[in-house]
Amino acid sequence: MLSKNTLQEITKLEETGTSVVAIDSKGKLSYSSQGISGCEYCDQCSDFRLLPDPDPYDWFRDNDMKAVCLKVNGVIAGALERASEYTNIRKPLYCPKLGRELSDEEKIKATEQLKWARERM
C-alpha cells in the first residue's frame, strides 16, 4: 500500500502529464498510471516481479535485478541496473497476455524463448 505522501507526489506528477509506475521493495507493481489492457509492457502486469540477479562472474555488479513472469515461471530480462530499464520491458512472444494471435513462425520462436526463460529461472 502506498503512503499518503507518495500518492500526493504521484497526483502532482500526473497533473503535469507524466505517467508514473511505482514498484515496491519486493518487486511488485504498486501503482501505474495506465492500466494493463492493451499495454505492451510487462511492468503493468500483476505477474511481473523484480528479483535480485547477482552474477557469480561479475563481482562488482551485485545490485542487478531480473524481470520475472510468475505466470510462465521464467525470466523475461536480466542484468537490469536502472529503474528506467525495469519499466521498458516489452511483453515477449510467449506472454499469455500478449493480446494477439501468433503466426507459425512466431510460435516456434516463442517456444524457444520460453524454454530459455525457464532455464534462467
SS3 67: strand
Amino acid in the structure at residue 110: A
pLDDT at 90: 87
For the chain, give every domain's residue range: 35-120
pLDDT at 28: 65
- pTM for the structure as a whole: 0.64
pLDDT string in tens for the chain (121-residue length): 567 888 788 788 878 877 777 777 776 666 766 544 456 788 878 888 888 887 777 666 677 888 999 999 999 998 888 877 887 788 898 998 887 788 899 899 999 999 999 998 8
CA angle 82, 21, 95 (to 5 degrees): 85
The number of beta carbons lying within 10 Å of the beta carbon of residue 59 is 8
pLDDT at 37: 44
The number of beta carbons lying within 10 Å of the beta carbon of residue 3 is 8
> What contacts 79, CB < 8 A, 6 or more positions away?
53, 55, 61, 64, 66
CA 84 to chain centre: 11
Q: Strand pairing partners for 49?
A: 68
